Amino acid sequence: MMDALEHRKLTEALLALRKEQYMSLIRAMIKTYRGNGYSRDKLSRVQKDRLKELVRYARENSPFYKGLYKNIGEGFSLEDLPPVSKPELMANFDHVVTDRHVTMERIDEFCTDPDHVGRMLDGKYLVFRTSGSTGNPAVVLYDKNCIDVSSAVAAFRTFARHEDYKAFMRHGKKTAGVFANYGFYLACGMSRYLQLKMPRQQTKITVDVNAPEAQIIQELNAFDPAMLSGYPSNLALLADYDELTIHPDVVITGGELLTDNVRRKLKDKFGCYVQTHYSCTEAGEIACECAEGHLHINEDWVIVEPVDQDNRPVGYGVLSDKVLITNLANYIQPFIRYELTDRIIVHHEKCRCGKNTLWLEIEGRTDDTLEFENGVKIAPMSLYKILEEKKCIRRFQLIQTGARRLELRLVSDQKEPGFAEAKQALLAFFMSKGVEDLDIVLSDQPPQANPVSGKFKHIYRAEKTEKTGDGSLS
């Protein structure tokens, strides 16, 4: 059922388009708006229909998928389709895409010009590259439909609470994102695309996450945004500065896991609601947060399968080893049962917010699972909790630099005592997991974000590669 506010959202979105003939966007808006009210049965029918259509299109237009599905009959179900991985799709890029004029060679050429960020290749496709902070970046194309669905989902599902949306509208929709403001990243590319489309609507700025803090603070203060977005780790750092005096209506983080501690810290600093969402370049907007703090899957546009190492479904309420995603909106570069390394738990319990969609929890997001001799694996979340509990530690970063060696980067109120305490707690924990003879050293470096993407990992393995999908240590 639509209430008055929902009506207004739709009317406003459509009015904003009145002078333009964006039929594709209007169609995406209407479909997405309707999707908000679908029952579970209807969602499952819509998923099946959209999957069938995408697979038909992929088979007809992508030599890669045609070959991959050669033994798949017409009456297939999702589980019959073989999963695909990033190395596989990138190695076969020219055969994966559904437009024979598009090649990796042409994209490489296109991307040499930074002015092409947010502009369309052949007037048809936006080109994105993932940060690839732990390995090779992925190249991802969005066709018009995929762009429009992203915009529609953003318009209708971004805000967890109606009151924040109302305040945001009242304050002129001024949005500041602290991201990498250059390069072919999703946030940067989409934001430039919209700016180029609507040059007179300057309600959005991107502040370079890698700029000096003083400059970021000055730009944010001067713009005075109604919505602040950015990576939680970076916003938490900025929150330490008294000089930052903005009062946004809402803070929306992305790109990394938003922990309860950081959520509280940002709420205290900015005095507003703090929320997150779950997206990636390949799948688009996977899940949006509701007022209950649950991440609801956008099931009408993306299929999310939590699976174990061997791609078997793990079921509801169980932590997965990885996720298979199917982007139902992208026809130029189909991602069908595509492996993501995120670990999630999918819930089917009815949420008190009233939405019918499944919701999920994410573990660790961008952090790595550490691996030791004799096959012991340690999930990042347990280490995160140990280090976060140490009150004297303000920031940390734990890096596995060898089979038996860890390096701890710290910013603490008193450096040495913080390290000794953390080291002891970590060694005790590793011992309990059967990892002995570990060397944990204090780094002379402070914690650092990836110098290119600006994304921060609390826990990672050095020299991890994504070529094999599971990484290796030298």
Residue ranges in contact with Zn ion by CB under 5 A: 290, 292, 294, 351, 353, 355
Task: Rank residues 257 and 287 by Cβ distance to Zn ion and give the closer one.
Answer: 287
- Least Å from the CB of residue 297 to Zn ion: 11
| Residue 232, token pair as written in the block | 């939680």
Spell out where 381-420 has E strands: 393-402, 405-412
- Least Å from the CB of residue 265 to Zn ion: 24
**Of 373, 448, 374, the residue nearest 407 (C-alpha):** 448
Spell out where 90-168 has E strands: 120-121, 125-129, 139-142
Task: Rank residues 277 and 355 by Cβ distance to Zn ion and give the closer one.
Answer: 355
Element (H, E) at 50: helix 40-61
d(CA 165, CA 155) in angstroms, rounded, equals: 10
- Least Å from the CB of residue 357 to Zn ion: 8
Task: Rank residues 139 and 351 by Cβ distance to Zn ion and give the closer one.
Answer: 351
For residue 326, the SS3 value is: strand
Tell the burial category of 312 from Cβ atoms under 10 Å away from its Cβ (0-12, 13-18, 19+): exposed
| Residue 266, token pair as written in the block | 């940002």
For residue 299, the SS3 value is: coil
Task: Rank residues 34 and 350 by Cβ distance to Zn ion and give the closer one.
Answer: 350
Task: Rank residues 160 and 237 by Cβ distance to Zn ion and give the closer one.
Answer: 160
- Least Å from the CB of residue 252 to Zn ion: 16
167 close to 249: Cβ distance less than 8 angstroms: yes
Task: Rank residues 236 and 290 by Cβ distance to Zn ion and give the closer one.
Answer: 290
167 close to 279: Cβ distance less than 8 angstroms: no
- Least Å from the CB of residue 219 to Zn ion: 34
- Least Å from the CB of residue 149 to Zn ion: 21
